[in-house]
Chains A and B, each alone.
Chain A
């Protein structure tokens, strides 16, 4: 075999150490917990794959996972088309461009717990702007602390409000990078608006849309703060998504073993779906 220069490995070492300390080692402690049972006092008993088995067969986990898929599915189905539509409607040049860009970016600048608190107040039936308007002006019985449907409508709306901008900004970046000649050629070729979208705009946005969908998937699949602040998982367990359930098990019940097993399964699902998304969306890219 040809002798190669091996000293470059030393240059990678600092990064390796950093990653080890902030990801690999904490992760390994989770792996460690997931195969043991503890009753406090730092006493641990070997449990093997028992927690994994129990969790995968538990109705509670299935329900939380189902809610999680519903949440992520719904926000993707709403945010991606809506984001593209807004990006298409935004002006591509002129004095209004900065105004729209900043307006679009604003919701994303607000901290997650503040978003939760804002919407909490916003939806209060008697003093919240939205709550009052729905109940007293429109006469619709709307109380998200009591009605699961109202709670779901609220968390979906909140996420759409908070994160559609990300899809908008990424799609917009894809749109402005299309040279004018494409639109001119399409005009001359007699292409309809739909054909322009289908054959010029969508293909050119594909790269950034892949990133947008991936980011929105990961973020929404791991969402915790906003929903915890807004509904706390209620009413009942109706908005208890995976992360909320996980925190309940880990910090509420202090079941470290089951919580660790759930963390690992949660992580594996996120990773698997992200990989699937990415592979499917980039499979026919021209190298």
Chain B
């Protein structure tokens, strides 16, 4: 168990990187607490797997340092870092039984056979695989194989951090949920630092206490699932998290006021100083579909499409040329109807070049 610190980490797969475009990781600074459950969330190719491999030691970063409990481990090979990693495709040793698979990391470290037996039995119980211990591992189903590869990580009691690299990719949808709750349960039992890499927001938000959202080699936001949902600091986060994602509306800023299609939109707070100079930068308003309501007054809009998805309806409306999605519970307006949209001011924000540019009135963070 350890605290993990990443300091000014940069990585390029090219031998002589020139511009920032050559880097797959651009200046990563992170501090992860001992025993926490973290997720690295981002689209494919954003550098999250690279970052994971750097933490595990499978890859040496071009620049920067990695510290476990304040101790520099940048130059240590994976086997000396005491980490465990679960890969996208389950890695099991085909010729061994389940028991021997779980015992393998311990035996490689010369652990006494009595201790091995004790640990393997305990872990097998935690993972609900006790009845398969004597079976050959090759014949197991993918979800059980993935459990075994998790088990190989957890069986060592000196593990600093357990890392999961999209571990549910090959698992059947109906088993994903079970395995995910198993993971959460395991985390509560062993209290190891866990890092979960995924491009699936549901997996990240349900697993982690804190989610790191990455895009294009950069961290765009670190926060609890609620923070990411309620107050995305970047339009990418707003768009990437949530279903449907945040509405992002083009707007003009005049005299400290945001104008959308000629209507003044009330924001959560004042626009940050230094970002108000007119004409420079791209300004956008971000508002989640959940925080828009229909009313008699507000921004006039036309309903284009209503999709009833069970618990609520997603209503597509247009204001001028801009599509705005609204989520309503209960009765939705009919298609083609003219209506008005009301934005919840405390959830309406201005973004400038993608980054949040309004100050929350009551300190949200």
Contact = CB atoms under 8 A, between A and B. Distances in A.
A182 B91 contact: yes
Label chain A's interface by main secondary structure.
Answer: helix
B121 to A, nearest CB: 19
Given A181-B87, A182-B91, A192-B108, A187 B96 contact: no
Counting chain B residues whose Cβ lies within 8 A of the other chain, the interface size class is 20 to 34
Interface string B83-113: 1110111010111100000001100110000
Contact of B84 (A181, A188, A199): A188
Nearest to B104: A189
B56 interface: yes
A181 B88 contact: yes
A286 interface: yes
A118 interface: no
A184 interface: yes
A200 interface: yes
A182 B84 CA distance: 13
Interface in A158-204: 179, 181-182, 184-185, 187-192, 195, 199-200, 203-204
A189 B94 CA distance: 15
A5 to B, nearest CB: 36
Nearest to A184: B58
Given A181-B91, A189-B104, A286 B79 contact: no
B153 to A, nearest CB: 8
Interface string B131-160: 000001011000000000100110000000
Label chain B's interface by main secondary structure.
Answer: mixed
Contacts of B83: 188
B139 A185 contact: no
Given A182-B91, A199-B95, A199-B96, A188 B104 contact: no
A4 B109 CA distance: 61
B285 to A, nearest CB: 44
B77 A181 contact: no
Given A184-B78, A184-B85, A185-B87, A286 B136 contact: yes
Most buried by B among A188, A190, A191, A203: A188
A128 B313 CA distance: 89
Most buried by A among B53, B58, B87, B93: B93
Given A184-B78, A203-B94, A189 B108 contact: yes
B40 to A, nearest CB: 17
A185 B93 CA distance: 10
B108 A187 contact: no
A190 B136 CA distance: 21
Contacts of A191: 104, 108
Contacts of B138: 286
A271 B138 CA distance: 31
Nearest to B53: A184
A190 B93 contact: no
B77 A190 contact: no
Contact of B93 (A179, A181, A199, A286): A199
Given A187-B79, A188-B56, A195 B95 contact: no
Given A179-B91, A182-B91, A189-B79, 5 more contacts: A181-B91, A187-B58, A188-B85, A286-B94, A286-B136
